[in-house]
A and B are shown apart, each in its own frame.
Chain A
Amino acid sequence: MAVVRAELKRGQLAAEIIAAYVRAQCELRRVPIATVVERLRAGRSPQRAVDPYALEEARRLGRAVVRTLTLLPGDTRCLGRSLVLMQLLSRRGISAQLVIGTRPSPDFLAHAWIEHDGEPVLSPGDGSFGRLVSL
């Protein structure tokens, strides 16, 4: 019975992640990224008071987002994952910042990740990305 409940919960989380992904992709097509972030944050739950488990939960959700989106077709790279996770965290009252970093050489690359209270909850890359903006 406990196993069934756990599977059900995992399924619900996967469905939430997929719905959040679809929403993020729709918004990205229509409005600039800063507006996307505002919209995805809207309707968030009240921010939790200092919660020592928030970071752990944020990272757990981050791992779930990466695992689930890996199975989907389409663009599921860093920005998509970050926007999905931002929605999940906002709904749970966990603060999240979208960070965009770049690395101009040897080949130009940009990378996006989520931080909670300054701590990365998605991979910030290999340490070579300079922070460009935090939304």
Chain B
Amino acid sequence: MTRDATPEQSLLEARIKVPQHVVYRSFPSETVVLNLQTGKYHGLNPVAGRMLAVLAEAESVRDAAAVAAGDYEQSSEATELDMCNLCNALLERGLIEIDGSGTC
């Protein structure tokens, strides 16, 4: 009998990509994100901005959380939760996408 992964577990294994129509730039006070399709600007605090940058490069959300945990000296568990919450918020706003190419 197999156990289905929770949505959070699935998200942690997923690879995130920042679509071409989303651009962002980090400033000292915040990261500004522009969705060129909607014309809307979004602001991320410095921690969320750093997480976005790490997500864009990481092979999975879990890997990104591990990097962030190191950066901020937090437990992996807490960072994974924060990372998932951030991903869900960014997904809702169309600022990131789950890379459908899959992982090995």
Chain A interfacial positions (CB closer than 8 Å to B):
32-34, 100, 102, 104-105, 108, 110, 130-133
Contact = CB atoms under 8 A, between A and B. Distances in A.
Interface residues of B, number: 15
A102 B32 CA distance: 8
A33 B39 contact: yes
Given A102-B41, A104-B32, A108-B41, 11 more contacts: A32-B36, A33-B39, A34-B21, A104-B27, A105-B27, A105-B29, A108-B32, A130-B32, A132-B23, A132-B25, A132-B32
B38 interface: yes
A20 B42 CA distance: 30
B36 A33 contact: yes
Interface string B31-72: 010101111010100000000000000000000000000000
Nearest to A37: B36
B61 to A, nearest CB: 25
B38 to A, nearest CB: 7
A34 to B, nearest CB: 5
Given A32-B21, A130-B27, A131-B25, A104 B43 contact: yes
Given A32-B21, A34-B21, A104 B37 contact: no
Contacts of B36: 32-34, 133
13 contacts: A34-B21, A102-B27, A102-B34, A108-B32, A110-B34, A110-B41, A130-B25, A130-B27, A132-B24, A132-B32, A132-B34, A133-B23, A133-B36
Interface in B10-36: 21, 23-25, 27, 29-30, 32, 34, 36
Given A102-B41, A104-B27, A133 B34 contact: yes
Contacts of B43: 104, 108
Contact of A100 (B27, B29, B34, B37): B34
Give me the 10 closest cross-chain CB pairs, A-B, nearest first: A133-B23, A32-B37, A102-B32, A34-B36, A105-B29, A104-B30, A104-B27, A132-B25, A104-B29, A130-B25
A32 B39 CA distance: 7
Contact of A102 (B21, B25, B38): B25
B41 A32 contact: no
